[in-house]
Structure 1
Amino acid sequence: MIIGYEKLRLVQDDLKKANIDIIICDEGHRLKSANNKSAQAIRALNTPRRVILSGTPIQNDLGEFFVMVDFVNPGICESYATFKKEFENPIIKSRQPEARKKDKEKGKARSEQLASLTSLFILRRTADILSKYLPPKAVEYVVFCKPTKAQIALYSGLLESSSIRQCISGTDSPTHVLQAITSLKKLCNCPSLIMTKASEGDSSYTNLAPIIDKYSSSITTSGKLAVLDHFLQRLKKETDEKIVLVSNYTQTLDILQDLLNMRGMSFLRLDGSTAKLAFPYKALITSTKRQEYVDRFNRTNREGSFAFLLSSKSGGVGLNLIGASRLILFDTDWNPSVDLQAMARVHRDGQKRQVYIYRFLTTGMMDEKIYQRQITKQGLSDSFMDAKANSSGNSFSLSELRDLFTFHENTSCHTHDLLGCTCLGKGEKPIKEELQSDENDLEDELLGFIPASQAIAEIMPPRNNQMNALNDYLHILPQELNESELEELVEDDILNSVMRDTDSDSGHCKISYLFVKYSATPTEDSVD
């Protein structure tokens, strides 16, 4: 029997009467909560064998991992309270940069113990097994875009607003904190996205009125949009390639759609509720026919569909968009698996071209903070699912993650600043150095006292310490390199052209920093 999760809940009483020997749960990470109704329905069947198929078994924390482990092998880790005490807490504590030597040793031991225990019933297969059927691995670029003057002024104004001051003080509700974060995320995409609240007279945004008046002529653009506009024009003019544009927000997709229309570029759009076929078409079709439009995009030339606008939440899984060889993540999701799934839409079986993936971030703003958080989550997944040797620690402390509502205006890349990397942005491969210190060895001698240097570690950026995933990237500061140096490091003529485009006010490149990974695999999902 093949059945969906929602339908299974409706017929679970009838299924209890059947003798079902095995249940295989595809996209099993959907069962990550112990209170999940689908998981409860399957447990109620008392099936002796359960199998979970998932490309993203850890999306947020080890609690999700426990739920899936307990689902297929009940009781092997005892209760969640025991699992949290024995495994989750010491492992998370050991991954902080300020962790003491004994905490790191305990966390490492518990991590190895957990990995050994679960390896008895976990079979891991990555996309590498498809490598002989696919083109060379995708090239990934993390593109840090300079914010416009309007963005800087509005972002600073928002941080001074009453709503965000309450968030920083810790007196606001989680709902209001999320709303504030969302407003800052939208401002990273385009200032016009927060105009609605301001024009409606929301008291939290009253201080923005004079800023909006001052920058009214540039309120409809952003650093990312300026880079994207140049990129699309170059791509259309100099190549015969097509592109996928991904966003979390339908309002952002509307702005991207307006940009494509303005430039006379044909596109398809899929945002969950509807699928739109635009320029020169005007049809509006329900999403149930999305495969028809996927096929149309893959089969037609650029005149019929140059771009595919895609909602990451509704269309980021299952689609095969091999008609495009380039994909841009215009904004970033808190959950790295959402972005990884979206990135994998173009690097799939049947792709004939070299694939390029671009992640657009606004320098120093909420975009970059979310990207930093993603790095720590991905490291957590790596350490248990692939036993990667370099994933023993997080790149950022909890205090740095709480720094969400701080704008780092005078930086080319706040992420690189936090790493304390000494590469100077010249594209040299970062070298991980194990910093030797006798301070941890002194803990016992100091009768429990902690050295002052360790006590302040939480407020100091780590110095080339535990760089994790970012070790695999080249770190490039465009304004410090000449044209020939950039061309040698960045094997992408379109991106090189965009990096030569300078801001009319500062004379500097609109791209402030670049991370490049030439061995990128967009996702390790071998199921989807």
Structure 2
Amino acid sequence: MASLLQLGGVRCITLRPNLLGSKEEFHNKFVKPIDAGSNAHATPCNVKRMKWRLYVLQDMLDSCIQWLDHTSLKTLLPLPSKMEYVILIKMSPLQAKMYDFYNKNLAKGGYKKSATGRPGRSAFLQDLHNLRRVWTHPMMLATNTSEKDEDLQAECDEDEEIDELDYPEEAVCKPASPSDDSPDGLTQKDKMQLDWWKEIVAASVDIKDKTWKNCPEYSGKMVILLNVMQDCFTNGEKLLIFSQSLRTLNLIENFLDLIEKGDLTMPSYENAKPLQFTNWTPDLDYLRLDGNTPANTRERLCKFFNDEENDRCRLFLVSTRAGIGINLVAANRAVIFDASWNPSHDAQATARIYRMGQTKTSYIYRFVTQGSMEEKIYWRQVFKLILSARVLEEKTITPTFDTTNIADFYESCADVEYLNTPIVEDKLMAGLIAQHKNWISAVFLHDSLLDGEKEELTEEEKKDA
């Protein structure tokens, strides 16, 4: 369940359609008090009221909803184990410089300009879209911005997720006014239109030498991804890479093409292994599936990838939402390259390999860029999952992070204390940690954030509720 409001939305298809009342009644009776008591800074009074409302809601839903949590698969299905790691990855110095400049000078802040709040929502989406390009790889900003921007449209499709945020009445980030020492005296709007990033890149690399775009070391995520790919293929394993961005899939394909041509400058790190696989022919060595893939082609690609005798095809690039429902158990490792707003999208991605037919331990690697909006998006995912566990599974889980205030997305997560790196049972993950201490800031198990004990109220508390 992506949100409590969506739970209210399913009332019309339950056996008792009027059980939860109207949307407004449901919001006032349950959503507001439960949200108020669920965040990490809730007052004791809010927490108490939340528990009462949760008990009432759980009691109402008990007769019409049967809910099984993520541990149920281990009991009901004869599946091997699953290890799902969250990898906090640092930005490169160039990325950090670009991200900081945009945040301080160009970010609009998503504030309300009208009673509807739609202009503020649009401004926030534009900021998110531009910053996502920065933390993916700086070369993403060098792509043709005049072409149809399907990634921005994908962000806009997350209507319910974005609309749940609280938009302030005034700008969170106020772009700096041009100063007297500004060499061009341009307004910030002018700078945005004139490729703001070029001056920053030029200070670090020779922008006329287009080979800078071929260097994965300008992106922490790309460095780690190439290492994961290398280790997987060396071990004879197949790999899935999920991204919600078509441009990110294009970027990865571009690097594969450079590897085949011998033009890729590989990252240098301690005990780096030489490339074992240099052939990357589309539809033979790797496959791609996105929203533009015809239905009959989808089935053919999946069958080709899952063929036990097909050792050559070892990589599948998949658009996160386009991959829902397909079976790719030939792979036992998957990378979720970017965090989705809706936790169910990423959960569906993990289910492409962790499902009936899987014979090996499944390893999932969730890439999250430290110090970026993406880190907040991931923790918002966790918050939603915690809320779901409290409502439907009656578990007590302490929220680590909560944000509905748009201003929080423009701040870093410096106040979040991460769990200690777990004892890593995955040799590939252990190798990543050892080799990339300068890139990886934290590693923890995703499912560990969702473990909790069943919460019981006393009889007196139940009466008060």
TM-score by length of 1: 0.65
- Cα drift, residue 192 of structure 1: 1.4
Q: Does 1:235 align with 2:238?
A: no
- 2:37 and 2:49 in contact (8 A); partners too: yes
- Cα drift, residue 133 of structure 1: 3.9
- Cα drift, residue 501 of structure 1: 2.5
- Residue number among 402, 405, 414 corresponding to 2:410 in the alignment: 405
- Residue number among 356, 362, 381 corresponding to 1:349 in the alignment: 356
- Residue number among 51, 61, 77 corresponding to 1:108 in the alignment: 51
- 1:499 and 1:509 in contact (8 A); partners too: no
User: Secondary structure of 1:513's match?
Assistant: strand
- 1:140 and 1:516 in contact (8 A); partners too: yes
> 1:144 and 1:169, CA in 2 relative to 1: closer, same or farther beyond 3 A?
same
- Counterpart position of 1:67: 9
User: Secondary structure of 1:246's match?
Assistant: strand
- Counterpart position of 2:290: 271
- Counterpart position of 1:493: 427
Q: C-alpha distance in 1, partners of 2:17/2:92? A: 54
Q: C-alpha distance in 1, partners of 2:390/2:433? A: 35
Equivalent residues in 2 for 1:104-503 (5 A)?
104-126=47-69, 128-129=72-73, 131=75, 133-162=77-106, 164=107, 166-167=108-109, 173-196=120-143, 203-204=191-192, 206=194, 207-214=196-203, 215=205, 216=207, 218-220=212-214, 221=216, 222-237=219-234, 239-261=235-257, 262=259, 263-265=278-280, 266-274=285-293, 286-301=294-309, 303-315=311-323, 317-390=324-397, 394-398=399-403, 402-406=407-411, 408=412, 414=413, 417-420=414-417, 425=420, 427=421, 474=422, 489-502=423-436
Deviations for 1:454-490, whole angstroms, at most 9, x for unmatched residues?
A: xxxxxxxxxxxxxxxxxxxx3xxxxxxxxxxxxxx21
Larger radius of gyration: 1
- 1:137 and 1:520 in contact (8 A); partners too: no
Q: C-alpha distance in 2, partners of 1:497/1:371? A: 24
- 2:92 and 2:220 in contact (8 A); partners too: yes
Q: Report which structure shows greater RCO (CA 8 Å, sep ≥6).
A: 2
- Cα drift, residue 196 of structure 1: 3.5
Q: Kindly provide the amino acid, as one letter, of the partner of residue 71 in structure 1.
A: I
Q: C-alpha distance in 1, partners of 2:310/2:137? A: 27
Q: Does 1:514 align with 2:448?
A: no
Q: C-alpha distance in 2, partners of 1:520/1:88? A: 22
Deviations for 1:301-331, whole angstroms, at most 9, x for unmatched residues?
A: 564311111000111x111110000000011
Q: Kindly provide the amino acid, as one letter, of the partner of residue 445 in structure 2.
A: V
Q: C-alpha distance in 2, partners of 1:395/1:516? A: 14
Q: Kindly provide the amino acid, as one letter, of the partner of residue 229 in structure 1.
A: L
Deviations for 1:75-117, whole angstroms, at most 9, x for unmatched residues?
A: 2222222222222211111113332222221111111101101
Q: Kindly provide the amino acid, as one letter, of the partner of residue 399 in structure 2.
A: N
Q: C-alpha distance in 2, partners of 1:349/1:189? A: 33
- 2:329 and 2:352 in contact (8 A); partners too: yes
Gaps of at least 5 residues in structure 1 are 1-57, 275-285, 409-413, 428-473, 475-488, 503-507, 522-528
User: Secondary structure of 1:295's match?
Assistant: helix
> 1:106 and 1:231, CA in 2 relative to 1: closer, same or farther beyond 3 A?
same
User: Secondary structure of 2:47's match?
Assistant: helix
> 1:499 and 1:74, CA in 2 relative to 1: closer, same or farther beyond 3 A?
closer
Q: Kindly provide the amino acid, as one letter, of the partner of residue 311 in structure 1.
A: S
Q: C-alpha distance in 2, partners of 1:381/1:174? A: 25
Q: C-alpha distance in 1, partners of 2:309/2:242? A: 20
- 1:138 and 1:519 in contact (8 A); partners too: no
Equivalent residues in 2 for 1:74-93 (5 A)?
74-93=17-36
User: Secondary structure of 2:109's match?
Assistant: helix
Q: C-alpha distance in 1, partners of 2:62/2:76? A: 27
User: Secondary structure of 1:333's match?
Assistant: coil
Q: C-alpha distance in 1, partners of 2:387/2:33? A: 13
> 1:156 and 1:176, CA in 2 relative to 1: closer, same or farther beyond 3 A?
same
Percentage of pairs with the same residue:
26
Q: Kindly provide the amino acid, as one letter, of the partner of residue 78 in structure 2.
A: L
Deviations for 1:146-180, whole angstroms, at most 9, x for unmatched residues?
A: 21122112112221333x1x326655531121011
- 2:240 and 2:316 in contact (8 A); partners too: yes
Gaps of at least 5 residues in structure 2 are 114-118, 148-188, 260-277, 451-465
- 1:161 and 1:204 in contact (8 A); partners too: no
- Cα drift, residue 255 of structure 1: 1.4
- Cα drift, residue 288 of structure 1: 2.8
- 2:80 and 2:358 in contact (8 A); partners too: no
Q: C-alpha distance in 1, partners of 2:54/2:20? A: 13
> 1:386 and 1:399, CA in 2 relative to 1: closer, same or farther beyond 3 A?
closer
User: Secondary structure of 2:367's match?
Assistant: strand
Q: Kindly provide the amino acid, as one letter, of the partner of residue 193 in structure 1.
A: M
Q: Kindly provide the amino acid, as one letter, of the partner of residue 118 in structure 1.
A: L
Q: Does 1:97 align with 2:37?
A: no
- Cα drift, residue 123 of structure 1: 1.8
User: Secondary structure of 1:144's match?
Assistant: strand
Structure 1's consecutive aligned runs of 4 or more residues displaced over 6 angstroms after TM superposition are 197-202, 518-521
> 1:312 and 1:140, CA in 2 relative to 1: closer, same or farther beyond 3 A?
same
> 1:363 and 1:301, CA in 2 relative to 1: closer, same or farther beyond 3 A?
farther
User: Secondary structure of 1:182's match?
Assistant: helix
- Cα drift, residue 199 of structure 1: 9.4
